[in-house]
Amino acid sequence: MRGSEFLPNQIKNLMGQNNGVSASATNAKAAADRFQAHDYYNLDELLQEDHLLARDAVRSWVKQEVSPIIEDYANRAACPTHLFKGLAEIGAFGPSLPMEYGGGGMDEIAYGIIMQELERGDSGIRSMASVQGSLVMYPIYRFGSEEQRKKYLPKLGSGEFIGCFGLTEPDHGSNPNGMITNIKDDGDAYILNGSKMWITNSPLADVAVVWAKDEEGVVRGLIVEKDMPGFSAPEIHGKWSLRASITGELVFEDVRVPKANVLPNVHGLKGPLSCLSKARYGIAWGAIGAAMDCYDAALRYSKERVQFGKPIGQFQLTQKKLAEMITEITKAQLLAWRLGTLANEGKASPAQISMAKRNNVHMALEVAREARQIHGGMGITNEYPIMRHMMNLETVLTYEGTHDIHLLITGMDVTGLNAFK
């Protein structure tokens, strides 16, 4: 067959043409990435040329760099740290920040699509990028001094520095305002004490954007560097979710943080919450990617798997599952696209972002569960991406605001009545 060197690896394997490299486990996994996107409502027609180019570029990158290795890393609960450099090179860190500060100068829809494609590969890989871009680069860009922007953003954008974001504490998750991490004035520096929990990237991080209360009880943001005495970031082990992403704590014991490292333009919880809105927006798109991957795998499996003399896709109960899956994915795509256009106009409210995060992650988890059923016993193995996505999505359902908290955000928005008090 002409031009067959450009075919996906699994087709070459079938044709016996994939010579040159021994058939290692890695290659077997690479061969498994037969993903084809599904665009039931022709949403591509709503996208600009740069959105489509960004989507295709990140999709190619994921197929080349993530799919061949991800099951192995997730299986071993190891973080593919080499991907930080690749994520930086492709431009996945802060794509909507200005180019002069290490970003990509793109719009919010492009940012969303990049997150969708990364999470199609793995929620943990998307998390690596979300944290770096939305939770580290964004607050330094939005609230930092010009010196801080120039010092940190280019290095974060190029992947030379890894960043993390410290808000959640062991005893304060959904209620960040109860945080006990604190700073005390000490001349030209603050003395930082406390600890943070469930911090993506923290054991690898060169810099941490940390939120702590000052002596007046006002939440402030600080840039803590890894070699500051008294600062440590132990890894959290034993996760059954986001196994290819590294998670840790942040521990501060009398860490002396220069006042030059305090973000000057933010006071109060609105600061970290605005970062979370940015990250939640990315998750609303990202979750669609995980759902698309599960649906795509299930659709293909349903046509290939024969029982009772016909493909299982011909059975009504399988079709019901597939029909509901693509319907829910299409609705989520529309929600994300509309949210993206509002965000581009600067009109996406935190409550609107909250709704999309909650809906789309819940949708993706349900799609993963249905896809698992269609795959039967094979669905629990790492021959297929389903179980990995499903376990990842349990985290995504909870982090950046739990499903229940997001319900209460919508509840408060529509009733005007605050259920948190």
Among 24, 64, 175, 373, binds another protein (CB under 8 A): 64
The residue ranges of DSSP E strands in 259-408, in sequence order, are 306-307, 310-311
Q: Is residue 400 annotated as part of the catalytic site, yes or no?
A: yes
Q: Counting contacts by CB under 8 A, is residue 105 touching another protein?
A: yes
- Using alpha carbons only, give the angle 307, 311, 317 rounded to the nearest 5 degrees: 85
Q: Which of 143, 111, 141, 148 is nearest to 129 (CA)?
A: 111
Among 30, 54, 129, 335, binds another protein (CB under 8 A): 54
233 vs 249: CA distance, rounded Å: 5
The enclosing H or E element of 273 equals helix 270-304
CB 5 → another protein: shortest distance, Å?
6
Q: Name the segment binding another protein (CB under 8 A); options: 83-91, 168-176, 185-193, 244-252.
A: 83-91
Q: Counting contacts by CB under 8 A, is residue 7 touching another protein?
A: yes
Tokens of 276: 């979370």
CA-based end-to-end distance of the chain: 67
212 vs 221: CA distance, rounded Å: 7
Q: Tell me the CB-side half-sphere exposure of residue 12, using CA atoms within 13 A.
A: 19
CB 267 → another protein: shortest distance, Å?
33
CB 159 → another protein: shortest distance, Å?
12
Tokens of 324: 């509901």
Q: Name the segment binding another protein (CB under 8 A); options: 47-55, 67-75, 271-279, 293-301.
A: 47-55
In SS3 terms, 125-138 reads as HHHHHHHHHHHHHH
Query: How many binding residues for another protein (CB under 8 A)?
Result: 30
Q: Counting contacts by CB under 8 A, is residue 306 touching another protein?
A: no
In SS3 terms, 157-173 reads as HCCCCCEEEECCECCEC
Among 95, 166, 282, 401, binds another protein (CB under 8 A): 95
33 vs 12: CA distance, rounded Å: 13
Which is closer to another protein, CB of 12 or CB of 403?
A: 12
CB 404 → another protein: shortest distance, Å?
35
Which is closer to another protein, CB of 1 or CB of 317?
A: 1
Q: Counting contacts by CB under 8 A, is residue 138 touching another protein?
A: no
Q: Counting contacts by CB under 8 A, is residue 114 touching another protein?
A: yes
Among 15, 43, 81, 89, binds another protein (CB under 8 A): 89
Q: Which residues are catalytic?
A: 400
- The contact set with another protein (CB under 8 A) reads 2-8, 11, 36, 49-50, 52-54, 56-57, 60-61, 64, 89-92, 95, 99, 104-106, 110, 114
